Amino acid sequence: MKTVAVIFGGRSAEHDVSIVTAISSIIKPLELSKQYHVEAVYVAKNGAWFWDNKLKDIKLFSSGAIEQFIARTQPASVQFDSGLTLSRGRGLTGRTQRKKIDIVFPSMHGTYGEDGALMGLLDMSGVPYVGCSLETAAIAMDKVLSKQVAAANNIPVSKFLSFTSREFAHKQSAVLERITNTLKYPLFIKPAHLGSSIGISRATTETELRNGLEVAARYDDKIIVEEAVQNLIEVTLPIIGNDELTPAYLEEPLVSAEDFFDFDTKYIRGGGKKTGGGKKGAQGYSTIPAHIPKDLYQKAEALGLSVYRALGCSGIARIDMLIDSKTKEVYFNEANPMPGSLYAHNWRQKGISTMELTLRLIQLAEARHRARQAFTTVFNTNFLKQF
Ligand SMILES: Nc1ncnc2c1ncn2[C@@H]1O[C@H](COP(=O)(O)OP(=O)(O)O)[C@@H](O)[C@H]1O
Ligand SMILES: [Mg+2]
């Protein structure tokens, strides 16, 4: 039986969400399938790695006992031995335990995990891993780069500008002038690399714009300012596949406009005020499938699939879109290479159980790995002979 390591936690704002994704949507269903050995690898907020079966229990985290666990447990280490081997010292006996990993299932959201950092490490180790590649993850987690790649592929995005926080600090009036000369209010101001609405503001006046820029500049070195999509309907499309793609249902999150920047609304209060008719999913209340006219549904689904291809996604991703319900224009907003809880609630409605989903994702990871290995990476040259 092959061994799958599920890596979760990490140094990001979405640390806690990643724990829930790992335990309920990946570890439990994979263990139930009895097709793989599953190892839980937890990256603590301080960056230390732990490997232990106790980490498969959500209670360890929800009760707060994880703090004691971290204080008492020796961190694990990872060896790059023509593959990936987990290793840990064992308390008083001092014996070292090792486990060779066949496949990695990353379950990290946000920085140092979903953004390509972990994928780079896994590429170096040569083990297959679930989800998007390093380059796709890095592009997807940058709101500017992902919009530029989409726009270069003729995918509509709302009109935007970007600049560095240093530019804003040193040439504030020039930056403001550039924005107000090019873009029309209302505007959204966002740090380029963060998720969960952290550091995002909406501005309808120059004062609000300046304030919004100051907030965003505190979080990130890169800022994006974009025109607001009017008459907004938000939809999101989870997709799996490498070459042949399977979309889940187009889903419409039901979060009212004034709640949009609230982390608690997204993850804790389950979508906050229930705006009617929705079902509670991983990210709060939503309608599945989105309740929009058929032609618009098809347009958004097609756009989501084009974005997945344009960004070079593989395995799984979730594509978020903004629709202007009056003009019927669909805009790409952002891509999530590792959607929270894998969007299991949506796949279930589509008839794909969470167990089936995780098993398929592992098969996709192995297929991509085999395809990559087929390429030549070593060349024999006479270069060294001259020395
Ligand atoms: N251009 C836009 N037009 C209208 N609403 C937007 C726009 N950009 C962002 N929003 C609103 O702000 C929310 C958060 O922005 P988003 O780009 O999705 O960042 P995050 O990474 O925090 O999810 C969106 O879900 C949407 O409600
Ligand atoms: Mg978003």
Residue 114 burial (10 A CB sphere; 0-12, 13-18, 19+): buried
Instruction: Return the pLDDT at 274.
Output: 41
Count the neighbouring beta carbons within 10 Å of the beta carbon of residue 77.
15
Determine the distance separating the centroid of ligand 2 and the alpha carbon of 299, expressed in angstroms: 20
**Best probe residue, ligand 1, of 196, 197, 215 (max atoms within 8 Å of C-beta):** 197
Instruction: Return the pLDDT at 275.
Output: 41
- Burial of 270-283, coded b for 16+ CB within 10 Å and e otherwise, reads bbbeeeeebeebbb
Instruction: Return the pLDDT at 178.
Output: 97
379 occurs within a structural domain: no
Model confidence, pTM: 0.92
**Best probe residue, ligand 1, of 322, 323, 329, 336 (max atoms within 8 Å of C-beta):** 322
354 and 261 in a common domain = yes
Q: From its phi and psi, is residue 94 left (phi > 0), alpha (psi between -120 and 50) or beta?
A: left
9 and 33 in a common domain = yes
204 occurs within a structural domain: yes
Determine the distance separating the centroid of ligand 2 and the alpha carbon of 322, expressed in angstroms: 10
Instruction: Return the pLDDT at 185.
Output: 98
What is the DSSP track for 211-252? HHHHHHHHH-SEEEEEEPPSSEEEEEEEEEESSSEEE---BE
98 and 171 in a common domain = no
Report how far residue 176's alpha carbon sits from residue 168's, in angstroms, rounded to the nearest whole number: 8
382 occurs within a structural domain: no
CB 50, CB 300: distance < 8 Å:
no
**Best probe residue, ligand 1, of 188, 237, 256 (max atoms within 8 Å of C-beta):** 188
- Which two structure tokens, joined as six digits, stand for 12? 């990001």
Note down pLDDT in tens along the chain; length 387 residues: 999 999 999 988 889 999 999 999 999 999 999 999 999 999 999 999 999 999 999 999 999 999 999 999 999 999 999 899 999 987 666 789 999 999 999 999 887 778 889 999 999 999 999 999 999 999 999 999 999 999 999 999 999 999 999 999 999 999 999 999 999 999 999 999 977 778 999 999 999 999 999 999 999 999 999 999 999 999 999 999 999 999 999 999 986 554 555 555 555 544 443 444 455 554 568 999 999 999 999 999 999 999 999 999 999 999 999 999 999 999 999 999 999 999 999 999 999 999 999 999 999 999 999 998 888 878 888 999 999
Q: Point out which residues pair with 20 in neighbouring strands.
A: none
263 occurs within a structural domain: yes
Q: Domain of 308: which CATH number?
A: 3.30.470.20
Determine the distance separating the centroid of ligand 2 and the alpha carbon of 332, expressed in angstroms: 11
148 and 287 in a common domain = yes
309 and 244 in a common domain = yes
Report how far residue 88's alpha carbon sits from residue 110's, in angstroms, rounded to the nearest whole number: 27
Is the C-beta atom of 195 inside 6 A of ligand 1? Answer: yes
Instruction: Return the pLDDT at 374.
Output: 86
Report how far residue 104's alpha carbon sits from residue 123's, in angstroms, rounded to the nearest whole number: 11
Is the C-beta atom of 220 inside 6 A of ligand 1? Answer: no
- Measured from the Cα of 331, ligand 1's closest atom is 1
- Measured from the Cα of 226, ligand 1's closest atom is 1
367 and 235 in a common domain = yes
Of the residues 227, 254, 279, which one is the last residue of a structural domain?
A: 227
Report how far residue 301's alpha carbon sits from residue 180's, in angstroms, rounded to the nearest whole number: 33
Report how far residue 127's alpha carbon sits from residue 109's, in angstroms, rounded to the nearest whole number: 20
Determine the distance separating the centroid of ligand 1 and the alpha carbon of 20, expressed in angstroms: 24
- Whose C-alpha lies nearest to ligand 1, atom 12? 260
Report how far residue 381's alpha carbon sits from residue 330's, in angstroms, rounded to the nearest whole number: 51
Comparing C-alpha atoms, which of 35, 11, 74 is closest to residue 358? 35
Determine the distance separating the centroid of ligand 1 and the alpha carbon of 131, expressed in angstroms: 24
Report how far residue 32's alpha carbon sits from residue 50's, in angstroms, rounded to the nearest whole number: 23
384 occurs within a structural domain: no
14 occurs within a structural domain: yes
175 and 111 in a common domain = no
381 occurs within a structural domain: no
102 and 171 in a common domain = no
Q: How many domains is the chain partitioned into structurally?
A: 3
285 and 180 in a common domain = no
- Whose C-alpha lies nearest to ligand 1, atom 15? 197
332 and 265 in a common domain = yes
Amino acid at residue number 177: E
Report how far residue 308's alpha carbon sits from residue 305's, in angstroms, rounded to the nearest whole number: 5
196 and 324 in a common domain = no
Determine the distance separating the centroid of ligand 1 and the alpha carbon of 134, expressed in angstroms: 24
190 and 74 in a common domain = no
Q: Domain of 195: which CATH number?
A: 3.30.1490.20
Helix (H), strand (E) at residue 46 = none
Which structural domain, as residue segments, surrounds residue 114? Answer: 2-131
Is the C-beta atom of 321 inside 6 A of ligand 1? Answer: no
